[in-house]
Structures are given as structure tokens and as C-alpha cells.
A and B are shown apart, each in its own frame.
Chain A
């Protein structure tokens, strides 16, 4: 295994339930890419034997916590890492059952790609719809539908084609731009890392090849310049007496020294003097870089402000239309008071209206509702105490997303995508 230093990073989620082979698939990817260590395999073998299994249960590799292993279920998002000579991968492994929609949303929020597993014997199930809807709602740029357990349907091309056709008919209702299909057997290894010899009729790439080559450089917004200011760096030393740097992570566009910029909310304009990190000059800065920017003019800027281009500004409003995934036992109702966190800004907010809830299995809208509960997804109108500077989530996943915080418990109770 030789790992290049200039590899790209691909983050993907896997969604599936206990018996559709998700753990086996992850185990296969980790094992075949030689990312499982001997002591990990030994630990899993010992545990499998203790439980009286006559095979090595690879799901034990990914089920982390004691309480989970006792109950035999995965209750949270677990992150796994592997690398090939082409790319480095981060897997957000999330459980599939209904009550854990919040975990799937969490895993999906940072993913470039989602793997959706379909059991070839069963075809599309409610959970397939649910996973796909969440992938579409969270705007995961790439989706791979793995039709698994092909070995159990005699590697039948007809079965595979039918599932592909069914999925395409259904997904046309969703906003997923890039869908690929791969017929696999995670257990036997067909088309996961190595090409299957049992499915000559399949001419596409293996799953790993696709993960290594899918084009992700455009997954960030490189058009609309957005730099939310995290903090102001003032050294207070003789050498850097007048230094005033605006530190932050670029959320969109490409900034260059000399660019004219506008500061929100003050509306002052200036020019970019330097973009740097650790004293090294950066000619072009784009998402997701963390940088320190200096400006030609001395302007009062603080955390929560946003640096943009004068001819391309985000919306600035106090009334937001948001798709909310609710993540707390305590329900959300009209007039519930919340704290909204958006980029580097926090402000108080209140729920004005719950418009409808989405049945995540059928995609039907349920109207006339008074409250939404844990794992519900709903369209909600929210009023903030001061304007926030946002883009629609479909344009920019960073400047279009918010989290909702309960001001009493301080817990993160919801995730929101601004429409």
C-alpha cells in the first residue's frame, strides 16, 4: 500500500439496516483495502467465538460502544477511515432504522457521496425511499445504489435491471443529480474491489473504482464568494503592530488579493490586501480552506460578519423558510424559542409556522400539524432576531445550513436547510 500525499478526500455515508449487508460491505472495503489491522481482526474473532458464531462477524468491527454490542444494534454515527493509492476515504456509518433519521442526517451533512444498499431479493423497500429522500434533502452530490446479494439471485441481469428501472422511476421525483448503480455481493466480493466473474453482462465500474474516480472537485461552491469571519487576529507585538487579520474558512467562491470586497452587515467596501496562513501567501483561496485575510482599509469587523463580493451578495433576511430535521425528544411547536447557529453567527429565533411534515417513507406531505417530534422532517417558518446572510441550501451547503439549539438545555435539537 503506497499512499500519495496529494490525494483527495472523499467522505461518504452508508445507509442500511441490520440485514442488508451494510456491515459486511464496510468490512469488505476495509479488509480488501488492507485497512483492518491484525489486532482488530483478532479482537473480532475472539468476540465472534465467545458469542458462539461459526463465522467472523465483521459488524463487530464497526459497532463501537459497549451498550451497542450488548444490544447488538448500532445507535450512533461511527466514523471509519481507509485509503487507497488514489484517495483517502471517511465513512460515516449510520444505522438504518426509522428512529435514527437524525443520525443519517448528521452523517449526510458532510458527505460527498451516499451508498444506498438494496437487497437484490427484496428490491426497493421503505428504507430505500427514506435513505434516498434524506440523501436528496441533504443534497449529497453523488449517490451509488448498490444492489447487494446478487449471489442469492443467481447473478441475474433481469433482477438487477428491474431494480434499476424501479429506482429510476422513483428517484425522478427527487433532486439527486448523479446516481450510479452497481450489482455487488459484499459477502463474496463481487464488484466491490475486484471485478466480478459472475456478471459478464455488467459493463460499469466496481464500487471501489467509482469511489476512487467520481468527480468531487466541484462539490464545493466555487462561484459565490463567502468568507464568514470566525475571529479577528491582532498580534499586539511590535513587529506586527498594525496587523489585523480576519480568520475564517471559505464557504464559497474564489478570493484573490486585489479583489474588491463588501463586509456584511456594515456594508463597507474595501480590497483584499493579502490572504495568508502562517505567514505564507495564498494566491487564490477557495472552499474549504482556512485562511487569514487582511484588507486595504481599517474597518470594524467582528465574528459573525461575512466578507463577500459587492456584485454577488447572499440574501439578508430575518424570515427563513427551512426544511427542519427535528432531533430531540421534546417536540417543536409554534412559537418555540430557539437559538439559530448559522456559519459563525448565533441569534435568537422563534418558530412562526409549521407548514407540513414529510412522511419519509412515502414522500407525502402531512398538513395541519401542531408539532413535530424526534426524527420528523418538516417545512418550518422561522423568524430570527437579526438578519442572517444566507444562500439557499441547494446553492451552498455551508451558507444554506443552520442548527437549532434549545436555549434552556443547550442541546442541538434540530438541523435546518434553508429553502
Chain B
């Protein structure tokens, strides 16, 4: 079952990407950076602002766990071993930051998926392990509950 951030079981899991943060205490979150010079928000850690070129004043922040579906595609052909179809989604998080991920818990049907619809970010154990058998925590989007 997908879980809300505050309910996630994270013990022993590694983050699927560096910008997914798993604090020792508290809920997982997606980390961003904000430029204090031009107020642009980025996904992930950065030391230089891609917009204004500033080399100082980029501050880490926790991005919101809800946002809006910007655009999507329904992927029917992917690389071998990857289960299809799935919905590849670009989501604008409230307060800044754009993230790509799978949109789940919705029919992969253009009639059902509405650009602009509100979505939540949820965290769950990934269905893949690495070569050493390590397990990972990943994030998904789902329609706002």
C-alpha cells in the first residue's frame, strides 16, 4: 500500500535518488535548493544557481509533498524488464520545484488523467533491489486524496 510521508516505513532502506532524504527521525521528503539571490527553487542539492549564476546563498529546503500535474505521457514501450504501461508525470510542487516520476493509482487513460489535477507525493519501498540486495525507498505521485 502506498503510504503518506508521515506513515512511511523507512528503516534499512536507501534513497532511490540523492534528493530523496530519509531523516533519522521524522518523515522522508524531497530536498530542494533555493537561491537567496534570485529566489529560484531547484530540485536537489546545488551549489551554483543555474538561473542567475550565483555561487553563494543556495540554501537547502524540504519541498512540498503536494503539487499539480503539469504534463504526462503514458509509456507502453520501455526497456526490457520494465513493466508497462505506466504514467510518466511532470509535477510542479507547491512552493517551487519540478519533479518527474510515476503517477500511480489512476487508470493509464487520457480520459482519466487531467493536466492540472492536484497530486500528492507518496513514499514506498521500491520493487527493485540493487546487485548487492539493498532495498530502496522511492517516491510516486498519486491523485490527491
Judge: A and B partners, yes or no. no
Interface of B toward A, CB cutoff 8 Å:
none
